[in-house]
């Protein structure tokens, strides 16, 4: 089997080792980085492991993404994160305006974190795009998300494998399905568990 010799790549003083260390500090994966910059996993994996020469255009994207994550989550002693002022804010609705776009084409801004958000859990925020949860959430409002499991009837955000997410009221998971409620009109929503990445709790609004 042909072994690939690892190369110490350095462009703009950022090496493959630096990228690996930074991902660990930010508690991010190679897959998340690849998805964020539009690079396949096998390519980002070879890059981070020093088995592939990094292009200057790719380095610019990686530096920008790491800077965005670092702005939102600042590590300190003990491996935990201290409270910071700003978190990622997803503002793009899905094509049918029924959900929030968390995928590659999503517009990400930075907003002030909600007091209820714990930065150890990589919080973020989304803009409500419709009135499907009115009067609980109105169009244009911000929902602040924590990556913790909600309890029954908590407001939640269901993150789906197609890159979109739905804000609703969590009810339960049963028989391979995730159930929640929409308020306007009152409707039970059902999502196959295989199509759901995670269910997050909404901890604030504004």
Please give the CATH number for the structural domain made up of 10-72. Answer: 1.10.260.40
Share of the chain above pLDDT 90, in %: 36
* CATH topology (fold) of 86-205: Umud Fragment, subunit A (2.10.109)
CA dihedral in degrees (23, 63, 146, 79; nearest 10)? Answer: 40
Residue with the two structure tokens 């491996």 = 79
Instruction: Compute the half-sphere exposure of residue 160: CA atoms within 13 Å on the CB side of its CA.
Output: 17
Give the pLDDT confidence score for residue 30 in this predicted structure: 85
Count Cβ atoms below 10 Å from residue 47 Cβ, excluding itself. 24
pLDDT digits (tens, 9 = 90+) for 163-181: 899 999 999 999 999 999 9
Give the domain ranges of the chain: 10-72, 86-205
Nearest CA among 40, 54, 76 for reference residue 8: 54
Selected residue with higher pLDDT from 85 and 78: 85
Alpha-carbon distance of 206 to 7, in angstroms, equals 48
pLDDT digits (tens, 9 = 90+) for 31-57: 888 877 888 888 888 888 888 888 888
pTM over 0.85: no
Alpha-carbon distance of 201 to 66, in angstroms, equals 25
Handedness of CA 45, 46, 49, 50 (dihedral sign): negative
Dihedral class, residue 19 (left if φ above 0, else alpha if ψ from -120 to 50, else beta):
alpha
Give the pLDDT confidence score for residue 122 in this predicted structure: 78
């Amino acid at each position: 089997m042909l072994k690939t010799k690892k190369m110490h790549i350095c462009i703009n003083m950022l090496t493959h080792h630096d990228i690996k260390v930074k991902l660990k500090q930010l508690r991010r994966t190679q897959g998340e980085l690849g998805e964020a910059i539009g690079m396949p996993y096998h390519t980002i994996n070879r890059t981070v492991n020093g088995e592939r020469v990094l292009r200057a255009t790719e380095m610019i994207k990686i530096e920008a993404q790491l800077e965005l994550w670092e702005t939102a989550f600042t590590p300190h002693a003990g491996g935990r994160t201290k409270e910071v002022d700003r978190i990622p804010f997803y503002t793009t609705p899905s094509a049918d305006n029924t959900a929030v776009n968390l995928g590659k084409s999503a517009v990400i801004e930075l907003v002030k974190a909600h007091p209820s958000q714990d930065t150890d859990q990589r919080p973020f925020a989304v803009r409500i795009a419709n009135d499907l949860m009115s009067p609980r959430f109105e169009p244009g409002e911000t929902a602040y998300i924590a990556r913790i499991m909600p309890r029954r009837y908590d407001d939640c955000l269901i993150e789906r494998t197609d890159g979109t997410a739905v804000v609703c009221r969590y009810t339960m998971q049963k028989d391979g399905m995730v159930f929640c409620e929409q308020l306007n009109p009152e409707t039970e929503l059902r999502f196959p568990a295989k199509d759901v990445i995670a269910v997050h709790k909404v901890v604030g609004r504004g």
